[in-house]
Amino acid sequence: MRDMKRVLLTGASGRIGSYLRGALAQDFALHLNDVADLGPARANETLFQGDLTDPDLCARMVAGLDAIAHFGGRSGIHSFADVLHSNIVGMQVLYEAARKAGVRRIVWASSNHVTGFHPVTEVIDPASPRRPDSFYGVSKSFGEDLSRFYFDRFGIETLCLRIGSCFPEPTARRMLATWLSHRDLEQLVRLGLSAGRIGHMVVYATSETREGFWHSPALRVLGYRPKDDADAFAARFDGPSPERFQGGPFATAPLAEDRA
Ligand SMILES: NC(=O)c1ccc[n+]([C@@H]2O[C@H](COP(=O)([O-])OP(=O)(O)OC[C@H]3O[C@@H](n4cnc5c(N)ncnc54)[C@H](O)[C@@H]3O)[C@@H](O)[C@H]2O)c1
């Protein structure tokens, strides 16, 4: 355990975090955070249950770390108040703790919803204009700027993964373009934690796809070679995608505020 890299995984009780918790445990000494129950600690794990907006908690859980895999936050269509708390304030509190503790590397779950209002007929890349499709997308756009600031000002490196749809298998027609398998996500996180130099890098994170609308040349430089292919599931979905926008239902869903 003493020779292992020490990594904080936030969102460790969530869908993606639960997968990464199991996948990374053999190779890293993990600090785990979530506001939700984390269950019992397993080998190589130290638990830090609590809210990311708590500066004292963040200071304790980043002490002595080599890197952070930041997957905690509100995922999906939420009110502005919700994403403000977890994705904006929580992320700033975590980065500030990382700066004070001298953590140099963060792999962070951004989202394709930063550019969700581009039409599905366009192929875009990380340099294309941001067009967030929701308050959630706006909060991820903030995170990309925040991490850029912490790199330019303090040299903290961040790999921003604009994750498409990370599920065990595609569950909707749109996911033939956006799907990211768990093991391909794991590969990206491992590359992000171990690469010699990242700087501030933004990439779209998907498995192989013929229908994709995102192009990220930096992924090859990083050494990413997806093992899974969304096309293997194409027979499950009939006809063309009904979506106009790359963000799919996020671009047309009512605001959470209007549903309340
Ligand atoms: N699943 C996807 O397809 C997908 C796509 C794009 C981006 N992402 C991003 O990846 C990350 C993980 O996604 P997921 O699908 O596992 O979501 P999830 O909701 O299952 O997990 C997120 C976890 O973060 C925790 N959390 C929320 N607010 C917190 C706070 N203030 N303090 C501490 N913990 C808090 C939640 O309790 C939850 O367990 C999120 O940042 C999400 O925005 C996911």
- Burial category of 246 from C-beta neighbours within 10 Å (exposed 0-12, middle 13-18, buried 19 and up): buried
pTM above 0.85, yes or no: yes
Domain residues for the domain of 53 are 5-259
How far is it, in rounded angstroms, from Cα 147 to Cα 30? Answer: 22
User: What pLDDT digit, counting tens, does each position of 167-184 carry?
Assistant: 999 999 999 999 999 999
How far is it, in rounded angstroms, from Cα 205 to Cα 55? Answer: 30
Q: How many domains does the chain have?
A: 1
Could you tell me the distance, in angstroms and rounded to a whole number, from the CA of residue 113 to the centre of ligand 1?
Answer: 14
How far is it, in rounded angstroms, from Cα 78 to Cα 148? Answer: 24
136 included as an active-site residue: yes
CATH number at 54 reads: 3.40.50.720
Closest ligand 1 atom to Cα of 17: 16
Q: Which of 53, 62, 71, 84 to mutate to test the pocket of ligand 1 (most atoms within 8 A of CB)?
A: 71
- Indicate whether residue 13 lines ligand 1 (CB < 6 A): yes
Closest ligand 1 atom to Cα of 85: 31
Active-site choice (19, 95, 136, 224): 136
- Indicate whether residue 36 lines ligand 1 (CB < 6 A): yes
Pairing of strands 45-49, 28-34: parallel
Residues of the chain with pLDDT under 50: 1
User: What pLDDT digit, counting tens, does each position of 197-221 carry?
Assistant: 999 999 999 999 999 999 999 999 9
Q: Given this model, what pLDDT does residue 241 score?
A: 83
